[in-house]
Chains A and B, each alone.
Chain A
Amino acid sequence: MRKVAVAGVGMTKFGKTDKSLVELFSEAAMEAITESNIRPGDIQALFVGNCLGDFAEGQANIAGFIASELGLPPSVPATRFEGACATASVAIRDAFMWVASGFYDTVLVGGVEKILHMGTPLATRTFAMASDSRYEEFSGLTFPGVFAMLAHMYAHKYGIPLPVLKERMALVAVKNHKNGAKNPLAQFQKEITVETVLNSFMVADPLQLFDCCPFSDGAAALVLTTEEKARKMVQKPVYVLGIGQGSAGSLCRQKDYTVMQSRVASARQAYEMAGVGPGDIDVCELHDCFTIAEIVASECLGFFEFGKGSEALETGETAIGGKIPINPSGGLKAKGHPIGATGAAQAYEIVKQLRGECGDRQVDGARIGMTDTLGGDASTIVNLILGV
């Protein structure tokens, strides 16, 4: 396997937009291509992450239209990837393997989503399609519902009184909004307090509105290439050190999902490939679709013991400047969560952090960073470890 580098990255501002899916992706892609000092004609394959384009815009089969929009030659294969909220990370992992194997030298990969115009009922319905349609959707399960049940299970399992856990969960939102306030591309650039969270309306008990990430529009993209080519293209290539992907079935078959086996397996693959452990990670962008989700993810990735992740919010260990800064971008919570773009936006932030380009939200001296993206109810999990 060859060493694979990220040459350039691009990302749109997250939030509401009138641009189309094709336009959003192309905007992020052109930035990544320009940053890489190459031309669209240098791209040998296009990997597009998009989850809900069929329902959002009546657009299936979007990849070819994006290739055309970008002026890629007819010989360039363009392929759509889907893995619910992990969509873009699945695409990045695949793109990595094609370059690592030697089949392609330079590829463009990213993700795009457009949700806000759909309205909450349809958006909630289409998000729920990422859970088991035979056996679990008919209960009216929603994504807040999945993580609401997780919060209750977590509080019961570890004997943490629900009000105590809720306050620590609120601190996840407070931290991520504080970080997001320093990110010009974030959907929400405003700090909040614990009271903001605890006074917001109940979405799925015990999750309130500010425990939940928003619906978002946006796109992000990366140019992946060989080490040799990257050195010629840019000053500071960032390398893909490790990748992992895991799978799981219906939530009921996962039983106690406070420990997500697909995530533990995925993270282990990525750590082993990179030859590092959780203690070596300087900065992490992980899947905080809900406040409890950040706590559980931080344990599955090995940053904290199982059952101890929520305490880290009180000690500030996951803040910028703490032991393991988590979601300096603002995370899904404040930066926004255009689901098919999220994995690429996480990689974008880690690349910028490792290059030292994050301004007020920079994690000093970060050399190894990790992403963690969860699709559906943990049925798809992807981890990437990047380094300089």
Chain B
Amino acid sequence: MSFYKLTHREYFDALKEGRLLGLKCRQCGGYTVPPKACCDGCGGTDTEVAGLSGKGEIKTFTVVRVAPEGLQAPYIVAMAELEEGPWLMGNLLDVDPDRAGMDLIGKKVSVGHRVVQMNYTAGEGVTPVFKIIP
């Protein structure tokens, strides 16, 4: 039996089905997203898989204009704080990179996903994406 309640592959598979999963800690009540071996808050391992609201707020962002091999610039990378507390990194969609400015910080967003193929990885990748809630 696996020690893991939620592996990265299971987390990716749920994201692809439109569900943002994480771990909820039975000790401290905190959420850990993306999942890992223990609670990100207290280090405890008494956790359970939990669904998250998939809503958050942009904390910071950048427009990548020089991309790694295999990707096409420009695109926006952002970090959002989820309603449940954890932060998540992903791509901000539906915003023109040339109009991305400081006013993005604090904008409410919903979390979706994007499937990514890159070289030198262990299989298909899935990254969260953010869309601004009008």
Residues on A lying within 8 angstroms of B by beta carbon are 120-122, 124-125, 128-129, 133-142, 144-145, 148-150, 152-153, 155-156, 162, 201-207, 249-253, 255-256
Q: Which of B78-117 contact A (CB under 8 A)?
A: 78-79, 81, 86-91, 100, 102, 105, 116
B: contact size bracket: 35 or more
Q: Which residues of A contact B59 (CB under 8 A)?
A: 153, 255-256
Nearest-CB distance from A145 to chain B (Å)? 5
CB < 8 Å: which of B67, B116, B118, B121 contacts A142?
A: B67
- Given A149-B79, A252-B34, list of 6 further CB < 8 A pairs? A125-B70, A133-B121, A135-B89, A141-B64, A205-B62, A251-B89
Nearest-CB distance from A148 to chain B (Å)? 4
With A125-B70, A252-B89, A253-B87 as given contacts, are A138 and B126 in contact (CB-CB < 8 Å)?
A: yes
Nearest-CB distance from B97 to chain A (Å)? 8
- A149–B88 CB distance below 8 A: no
For residue B29, CB closer than 8 A to chain A, the reply is no
For residue B3, CB closer than 8 A to chain A, the reply is no
Q: Which residues of A contact B89 (CB under 8 A)?
A: 135-136, 139, 141, 250-252
- B67–A140 CB distance below 8 A: yes
- A205–B65 CB distance below 8 A: yes
Q: Scoring B residues 114 to 134 as 1 if CB is less than 8 Å from chain A, else 0, what string do you get?
A: 001011111001111000000
CA distance A200 to B62 in the complex (A): 17
Q: Which residues of B contact A145 (CB under 8 A)?
A: 62, 64, 77
- B66–A156 CB distance below 8 A: no
Residues on B lying within 8 angstroms of A by beta carbon are 8, 34, 36, 40, 59-71, 75, 77-79, 81, 86-91, 100, 102, 105, 116, 118-122, 125-128
- B125–A138 CB distance below 8 A: yes
- A128–B68 CB distance below 8 A: yes
User: Could you list some 19 contacts between A and B, CB below 8 A?
Assistant: A129-B120, A135-B89, A136-B89, A137-B118, A138-B127, A139-B89, A139-B127, A139-B128, A140-B68, A141-B89, A142-B64, A142-B67, A145-B64, A149-B60, A149-B77, A156-B60, A202-B65, A250-B89, A251-B89
Q: Which residues of A contact B122 (CB under 8 A)?
A: 133
- B62–A252 CB distance below 8 A: no
With A125-B120, A133-B121, A138-B118 as given contacts, are A203 and B66 in contact (CB-CB < 8 Å)?
A: yes
With A135-B8, A152-B60 as given contacts, are A252 and B118 in contact (CB-CB < 8 Å)?
A: no
- A121–B67 CB distance below 8 A: yes
CA distance A139 to B102 in the complex (A): 20
With A139-B89, A145-B77, A251-B89 as given contacts, are A125 and B63 in contact (CB-CB < 8 Å)?
A: no
CA distance A135 to B116 in the complex (A): 12
